[in-house]
Structure 1
């Protein structure tokens, strides 16, 4: 079961630009942003101008600190910010002796009169944010530059420590250790640009952008630590992952299999039991319930398993009691918790800081929401760091764990460029949109895959409004047909444009047509560049199509109708803007989607029989090699705007 994702959208891009422009002029703020809007997370919060800062250092008393926080809440203030992972060592007498002066600040919480609240249902801030509109005229921020990237630990030392962890597991000291290191780097550029770049492909419910003087924190966490509402406290540990597949069909199967995977379930249950015991120390007898086990949440690159535990706190439980029992979250330590934290302190070279600690806020009424800061970047002046870690168990492969850490570092050094989803739809001003159901079905499926908010009713309404406005044009000749291009942005915004076009030959049931030219078939050629079936963007129609656009332009300049691509397995996949069909004897063949290609609308309509094939030939999917393409009786290329076009393959790469 997944948490229900609702149709409310993240902060619109233009408003976010204005907001980040405003924050560029602020030396002290906390911005807690929800990009993944759900039933539990329908607001983002901006805190400006703290009346006081509550700072706890390594040598300070943590209980007195938490009592001070609770006193500020009782006075009607919001208390907002972060606590370092090492704050947990101070809360446990056995562990407090492991604290070191270089741990520095272990908690920094600001005291605020009120937040500026962005309501994702209405799409606006409740009340005015001072200076927000004034920032709209400012120039574009300088792009971030990250250089001198290195790990805080040499590979040899890392491998030795993983071996030591496995020895601890073997002797029964621990069952699992979440071991971390840091990615260190030098940084220049605008903070707003870095936040935007990192946020772009991290659609999470618990984003944070925090500044206190020269220190900036940018965190993008999918994991709730705890939510307290009244006397009810809920935790939702995240443990268990599977990498996503590039093609949607396989990806759906992987997501379903995660919930039943024995290894991931056992790791998840271990942490659930740990947190259930933690809550049991605070809650009324018999009120600690496991609300759900083995839920699967899907993010850009991973399927993640979560479970939810809730309990009713006893009336005498205070803030210090709560944190002593549950901080830090068991999902970022391992089990058993105390002994594992001792092992972590012995092996990890550096303090974790805010990474794997807690970020969130307390309300004047005593409610609270805190997340577990993973995917977290900390900047101090021109220096930066990002924590990276993984759960080590008995059968972990040290070399693979090191490689996994390197892959996780790409989040910082190789952020994905922005993109939008595209649908290009044929509009007949007399009959309406052709194959509109198939287009919208594909759009909604891609939006779901990428976690992009998409309201089906709103999209249909905007397309219908476009058709109505176009119907005022002349409905004769070429003006009767329009190529309508729909862009779906990452914030859920829809952009529609149109241009006149010719109908497919034989519309509405396109027969294979030859392009004009005295009976000569248009020529196509194989592209020189190979594609990879592991590239998820090949399975969706997006603006991330630089290679395809480049090859299509080059093919046109050389007089070719299209260029065809071949994948890493020497399988022919598709054209730059068309799907491929070949005739072998008395049947039509098209490559299967898992070769790495777009499941085009016309392709789907031909496979399902909604649109007739040439001569009503039967059609099926099968792998097509280069030699089979050369030997084909006939070759067709097509899409839902052009229809089917018979073509001729010529020798030589593009």
Structure 2
């Protein structure tokens, strides 16, 4: 098994990687690949562990770490949020019990590194296929605090803000749950829910840490140190176009900009404590990044550090990350300690590695699960500002449990393409445009030229002088499956001519309604259970298709077709916002005949109104005149 370049590891590759690791390891996974972050690192077989407890001197601990680095070792592991209390004299009185471990780093030889851009390992690696671990069971999910106490603490935070003690407090609590089964299976399940840039999976004895963080804390390469705080979020749209519109709105939103600038100023000051004079610059501001379920605003700050930067200076200046405290940092950390009902632990601390050449990279562990002998916790929180509404903040915390409760659907992208004799694939570029848009939206790998070549070779090998329906399936890794079957020539591949029509097929209105908010209606995927079920029913009953209505009672589409009505030579089709697939034939007709084909919201009564002809169509069947049969 060889991982592909420019793609994250597949689930099968992850299973193979984890199979023989034993109990002590650090796996730092890059599943959202970018030019400046394209490697995954695996540390195994530690020589020893370095631990810092709350009662220990953090500078002595960091000096021991430096000794190991000077000996040529790598260090990889985690720092708890509470490690930061020992770095600041004013906060030391707030430290947890003396024996609490606040940092743990394994001492390792050279890690195994995979470069996702080149598809190359730094040493020979043979991944042998293994059976995927059996799924485990999450149960007894609960919050560490009740709503009344939570809302009371939010009110207290707002009073501190009003008094001028703080501008923003990142207030957190914990999701507690029980888990039975393999920790590897849980990691594989949750990484499928959230492919991120700075994932991590750590093992030490029976304890596991599973982190699915999109946020970089800091990266140090040579003398350049970079931080990239995240602050400001928006929901995702239902398509790339809607994502772009929402990203622009987020980028320009005054409230989100103000919160982002507040944290940028804090981290710029932190970085300025260790950087050379005048070298700290904000290299990008208000960037918007796309993740599975949301859009996230980030900014990037860089500074040049002295040639021989002590770890104690690095951590004293930066730790913990200002994006998980609030501003001003020290006073806000005091408020956090007063109101939160227990140590955060690794959540909002740091996970990453230190290299013997002075390079380092750590994430901010959000969406991070700590699992130990069947008991698990995941920290959750939000930034509280002056106009935060306690009830809304509580509901947001409850929704964050969906990351655990609602597994992401496994699905493939589909295109169904007509191949015609002496013509080849009809509207192929339209099909590939749609596939590429959905691949971009869901984060699937797609190589367009490779697809062209594959389809051309497939046609050369398979097709004779008749029409074929070609089905293309593409998985998250960009792997393609092709199949085909003979099909009739389409009736109309353009607008029907005026005059008598052939006998009409039958269609029915479906009892079930769809929701125009359902993202999957806008993309052609294998996640279409209702549509598959009703299409099979229609076929068995001799109907061409079922026609759906949305939650507003508007007509949307068929299970396998788009819908058009014709009146006085003008064709009307529902707009995409009604909740329907951007069909290839639909796009073709709208673009080629803009004066005759128009979008319009339609009601069921419009379908059999006087003087109207109803059509259903797709790029394989063409445009087919139909009449409504008996409604269910």
If the length of structure 1 is used for normalisation, what is the TM-score? 0.92
1:97 corresponds to which residue? 93
2:616 aligned with 1:646, yes or no?
Answer: no
**Structure 2 partner of 1:9:** 7
Q: How many angstroms does 1:506 deviate by?
A: 4.4
Q: Residue 200 and residue 103 in structure 1: after superposition, are their counterparts in 2 closer, same or farther (change >3 A)?
A: farther
| Structure 2 residue 288 is matched with structure 1 residue 296 | yes
TM-fit CA distance, 1:449: 1.4
Tell me if structure 2 keeps the 8 A contact 1:290–1:310: yes
The alpha-carbon deviation at position 543 of structure 1 amounts to 1.3
Q: Check conservation: 1:512, 1:645, Cα contact below 8 A.
A: no
Q: In the alignment, what sits opposite 1:607? A: 590
- Count residues in correspondence: 627
The 10-residue stretch of structure 1 (180-189 or 311-320) with the greater mean CA deviation from structure 2: 311-320
1:335 correspondence with 2:333: no
Matched position secondary structure for 1:553: helix
Q: How does 1:163-562 map to 2 (within 5 A)?
A: 163-470=155-462, 473=463, 475-476=464-465, 480-506=466-492, 509=494, 511=496, 520-562=503-545
Give the alignment's TM-score, normalised by structure 2: 0.95
**Is this contact kept in 1: 2:30–2:197, CA < 8 A?**
yes
Structure 1 position 59, deviation (Å): 1.7
The structural deviation recorded for 1:631 is 2.0
- What is the Cα deviation at residue 204 of structure 1? 1.2
State the match for 1:74 in structure 2.
70
What SS does structure 1 have at the residue aligned with 2:94? coil
Shift of 1:315: 3.6
Distance 1:512 1:388, change over 3 A: farther
**How far apart are residue 103 of structure 1 and its match?**
7.7
- For the 8 Å contact 1:248–1:539, the answer to whether it is kept is no
Given that 1:7 and 1:453 are in contact with CA atoms closer than 8 Å, whether structure 2 keeps it comes out as no
Offset, 1:264: 0.8
Aligned to 1:200, what secondary structure does the other structure show?
helix
Q: Which is worse superposed, 363-372 or 309-318?
A: 309-318
Query: Contact conserved, 2:30 with 2:196, CA < 8 A, in 1?
Result: yes
Alpha-carbon distance in 2 for matches of 1:305, 1:249:
18
| 1:617-654: CA deviation from partner (whole Å, max 9, x where unpaired) | 8110011112222426111111111111111112323x
CA distance change for structure 1 residues 506 and 578 in 2, over 3 Å: closer, same or farther? closer
- State the 1:313 CA deviation: 0.9
Distance (Å, rounded) in 2 between the aligned partners of 1:590 and 1:30: 54
Contact 1:378/1:386 (<8 A) preserved = yes
Determine the C-alpha separation between the residues in 2 that align with 1:398 and 1:103: 35
Distance 1:315 1:523, change over 3 A: same
Q: Residue 3 of structure 1 corresponds to which residue in structure 2?
A: none
8 Å Cα contact 1:505/1:512 also seen in 2: no
Give, in whole Å, the separation in 1 of the partners of 2:83 and 2:627: 69
1:282 touches 1:325 (CA, 8 Å); kept in 2? yes
SS of residue paired to 2:629: strand
| Contact 1:636–1:645 (8 Å) recurs in 2 | yes
Distance in structure 2 (CA, Å) of the matches to 1:596 and 1:125: 44
Task: Give the 3 Å change call, closer, same or farther, for CA 174–166 of structure 1 in structure 2.
Answer: same
**Structure 2: distance between partners of 1:429 and 1:12:** 38
SS of the aligned residue for 1:245 comes to: coil
Once the two structures are superposed, residues 210-249 of structure 1 have per-residue CA deviations (whole angstroms, 9 ceiling, x without a partner) of 1111111111111111010111111011111111122443
> Which is further off, 538-547 or 115-124?
115-124
Aligned-pair distance for 1:119? Answer: 1.9
Aligned counterpart, 1:127:
123
Contact 1:165 1:392 in 2 (8 A): yes
SS in 2 for 1:97: helix
CA offsets, 1:508-566, max 9 Å, x none? x47489xxxx9653221122222111111111111111111112122223332211111
Distance in 2 (CA, whole Å) between partners of 1:638 and 1:523 is: 13
How far residue 117 of structure 1 moved from its aligned partner, in angstroms, is 1.1
Q: CA separation of 1:91/1:127 partners in 2, compared to 1, >3 Å: closer, same or farther?
A: same
1:8-47 alignment, distance < 5 Å: 8-23=6-21, 26-47=22-43
> Structure 2: how far apart are the matches of 1:78 and 1:512?
74
The one of 592, 598, 601 equivalent to 1:620 is 598
State how far apart, in whole Å, the 2-side matches of 1:296 and 1:313 are: 28
Contact 1:103–1:351 (CA under 8 A) maintained in structure 2: no
Q: Following TM superposition, by how much is the alpha carbon of 1:286 offset from its aligned partner in structure 2, in angstroms? A: 0.7
Please, what is the CA RMSD of the aligned residues? 2.1
Question: Do the aligned partners of residues 458 and 109 (structure 1) sit closer, same or farther apart at CA in structure 2, a change above 3 Å counting?
Answer: same
Residue 499 (structure 1) shift: 2.5
Q: Is contact 2:5–2:119 with CA below 8 Å preserved after alignment?
A: no
1:389 and 1:630 map into 2 onto residues whose CA distance is 53
Decide which of 112, 115, 120 is 2:111's aligned counterpart. 115
Residue 102 (structure 1) shift: 7.7
Shift of 1:143: 1.1
Secondary structure of 1:36's partner?
Answer: coil
Q: State which drifts further: 317-326 or 621-630.
A: 621-630
Cα 1:143–1:510 change in 2 (3 A) is: farther
Structure 1: runs of 5+ lacking an equivalent: 1-5
Between 552-561 and 146-155, report the one with greater CA deviation.
Answer: 552-561
Contact 2:51/2:101 (<8 A) preserved: yes
Deviations 1:302-329 (A, max 9, x none): 1111111111112453111110111111
1:579/1:603 contact within 8 Å kept: yes
The list of structure 1 runs, each at least 4 consecutive aligned residues, that deviate by more than 6 angstroms after superposition, is none
